[in-house]
Amino acid sequence: MQIPRSDERRRNLIGGEWRPPSTGEHEPCLNPADTREVIGLWPRSGAADAKAAVDAAAKAFPDWSRTPGPERGRILGRAHQILKAKIDLLAEALCREEGKTLTESRGEVMKGLNLLEFYSGEGFRTHGKTLPSETRQSLMLTLRQPVGPVTLITPWNFPFAIPVWKTAPALVAGCTVVLKPASLTPVCTHLLAEALVEAGLPPGVINVVTGPGGAIGNALVDDPRIRAVSFTGSNSVGLKLYERAARRGIKVTCEMGGKNPVVVLDDADVELAAAGILQGAFGSTGQRCTATSRVVATPRIVSKLTEALVSGARSLKVGDGRDPSVQMGPAVDESQLKTNLEAIAQARADGARLLCGGERLRGPEHDHGFFVAPTVFDDVKPGSRLAREEVFGPVLAVQRASDVEEAIRLANDVEYGLTASIYTSDYFAAMRFVEGAEVGMVHVNQPTVGGEAQLPFGGIKATGVGEKEMAEEGSNFFTYLKTVFLDYTGSRRTTNIY
C-alpha cells in the first residue's frame, strides 16, 4: 500500500483484478494546495467499465450473501487492522488529494477506522424479531437479508470516511458493491479497496470504478441488477439520481446539502461559542455538509461574539496542510474556489457587511493553490442568498434575533435540515431548541460538526431522502425484511385469520 507516483497509471478494481479503463483515458489527481504536484493518473472510465463492475458484483453476490455474517464482519476487522497500521500514510494521502490539514486528515482517517471497527461487530448483531402469533403453536419472525448488488457514489470532501461508512455496512449486510469515488479524490478509496482485498474479500465483492459521474453514474444506477443506491453529494445531482432509481422501485438514500445554524443566546459562554463556531465554519475549509454557515445571535452577546469570530478568523494560518502550523487548507479545485468568490460577491451586492476575509489569497505560499481567506459577514438579511444557499466554503453569515423563539424561526428559515447547534446555559431554552430545530441532528454547546459510528447520521427537508447512514440504520438500508410464518401443529388450520 503506497501513495501513487505522479506518472503512475492507476486501474479500476473489477472482479478481483486491477483493469485499465476501457476508454484508455486517464486524468491527473492534483494537490489543491499546490497544483504542480500530481498524485497519480486515474481512469476516466466509461459505461463499459461500469457494466463490467456490475457483472462482477452480480456474479459474486450469491456466494457472498450466504457467507455467515460473523465471517463477513471478521474480514472488515482484518481490514481495520491493516489500515490502522497505515494511519500516517492514509493521512498524508488525504491531505494531498483533498487539501485538509494533516491534523484534520488524521481525524478523518480515525473516523473511518471507527466505522470499520463498529461494522465488523455488526456481522454478529444483524437481527430481525420474533413476535407472538394469534394462533396456537405458531412462531412468527422476521429476517434481514441483503438486497443484492449495490452502487455507492461518494463525494470529494471526505475521501476516506464516507467510502468507509457506505462500503462497510453494505458488505457486512451481505451485499456486493460497486463503488464510484469522486474523480477529484480517488486515492484514499483505492487504498481502502486494497486493504479489503488484502483482508480476504472474495473477487467481485468490492469493485471500484473511477471517472466522470455523467459517463458512468447513470450506468451504475440504471442497471437492473443493482438493487440499492447510496449517494452523497450535491442536491442537483442527488435529486436526478433519486428520480432515476425511484423509477425502478429500488432503495435509494441521498445525503445532500446543508445550511447549518448556530444559535447563541445572551447567557452563553462567548469564548466557548466562538471556538465552536470557528471550528465548524472554517475547519476542513468549510467543505463539509455539517459546516457552520450561519450564526444567529441575540442582542446582548452579538457584538462580543462577532469580535471574537473576526479575531479568530484573522488569526487562522491558511496554506498547505502538510505544514503542521497551518490551520486551514485550500478549496478543493478551481470550480469550488470560483463558487466561494461568487458567493462573497453576491453577499456584498445583497448588502451584507464584510467583517474580514472576502478574497482569494495570493503570494508565494498561495499562488499555486486555491486559497480563500476565512470570511465573516454581518447584517446578513434573512432572505438573501448567503442566508439561504449552501456555499461549501469558509464563509460565515451572522444574523440577529431578539430571543430564542425568533432564533429558532430564523434557524429553520432554509430549505435544508441537516444539523444545528445552540450555545446557552439555559436548560429550558436549550430544550425548546432541541424540539423546535427542523434538522436531523442537533447539538447543545458544541459545534454543528461531528458524529459517531454508533449514531445515525442524516438530515430532513431538502438535505436528504431515504434512510439515515451509520449506526444500525446504515446496515439496515442494505437489507430487506422477510416475514416468516412457522406452524408446528401438524394439522390443518381451522381459524380464519385474514
Number of folded domains that form the chain? 2
166 and 270 share a domain? Answer: no
Q: Are 389 and 432 within one domain?
A: yes
At 127 the pLDDT is: 87
What is the distance between the alpha carbons of residues 455 and 469, in angstroms, rounded to a whole number?
9
- 74 with 201, same domain: the answer is yes
Shared domain check, 182 and 116? yes
Residue 498 pLDDT greater than 60, yes or no: no
Give the C-alpha distances (Å, rounded to integers) separating 149 from 94, 116, 171, 342.
28, 20, 10, 41
Indicate which residue of 104, 194, 255, 390 is catalytic: 255
Question: Do both 199 and 312 map to the same domain?
Answer: no
Could you tell me if residue 4 is inside a domain?
A: no
Q: What is the pLDDT of residue 211?
A: 93
In this predicted structure, what is the pLDDT of residue 497? 65
What is the mean pLDDT of the segment spanning 133-140? 91
Could you give the 3-state DSSP secondary structure of residue 115? helix
pLDDT in tens, 82-116: 999 999 999 999 999 999 999 999 999 999 999 99
Distance in angstroms (rounded) separating the CA atoms of residues 174 and 167: 11
427/439 same-domain check: yes
CATH, residue 222: 3.40.605.10
Q: Is 438 a catalytic residue?
A: no
Q: How far apart are CA 129 and CA 174, in angstroms?
A: 19
Mean pLDDT to the nearest integer, 416-433: 98
Residues 404 and 468 in one domain: no
Q: What is the DSSP string of 192-238?
A: HHHHHHHTTPPTTSEEE--S-HHHHHHHHHH-TT--EEEEES-HHHH
Annotation marks residue 175 as catalytic: no
Residue 497 belongs to some domain of the structure: no
pLDDT of 130 higher than 90? yes
What CATH code is carried by the domain that includes residue 411?
Answer: 3.40.309.10
Is there a domain that residue 291 lies in?
A: yes
- 389 within a domain of the structure (yes/no): yes
Residue 215: its pLDDT value, please?
80
| Contacts (Cβ under 8 Å, ≥6 apart) of 239 | 254, 256
Residues 127 and 267 in one domain: no
Whether 488 maps to a domain, the answer reads no
Quick: pLDDT tens for 31-79: 999 999 999 999 999 999 999 999 999 999 999 999 999 999 999 999 9
| 452 domain residue, yes or no | no
Q: Is the pLDDT of residue 290 over 70?
A: yes
Q: Shortest CA distance to 160 belongs to which of 188, 120, 118, 187?
A: 188
Give the model's confidence band at 126: pLDDT under 50 very low, under 70 low, under 90 confident, else very high.
confident
> Based on the domain organization, do 360 and 419 belong to the same domain?
yes
pLDDT tens readout for residues 334-358: 999 999 999 999 999 999 999 999 9
Say if residue 237 is in the same domain as residue 141: yes
The one catalytic residue among 29, 95, 254, 289: 289
Q: Point out which residues pair with 45 in neighbouring strands.
A: none
Residues 197 and 269 in one domain: no
CB 381 within 8 A of CB 346: no
| pLDDT tens-digit series, residues 177-233 | 999 999 999 999 999 999 999 999 999 999 999 998 888 999 999 999 999 999 999
Structural domain that includes position 48: 12-256+463-483
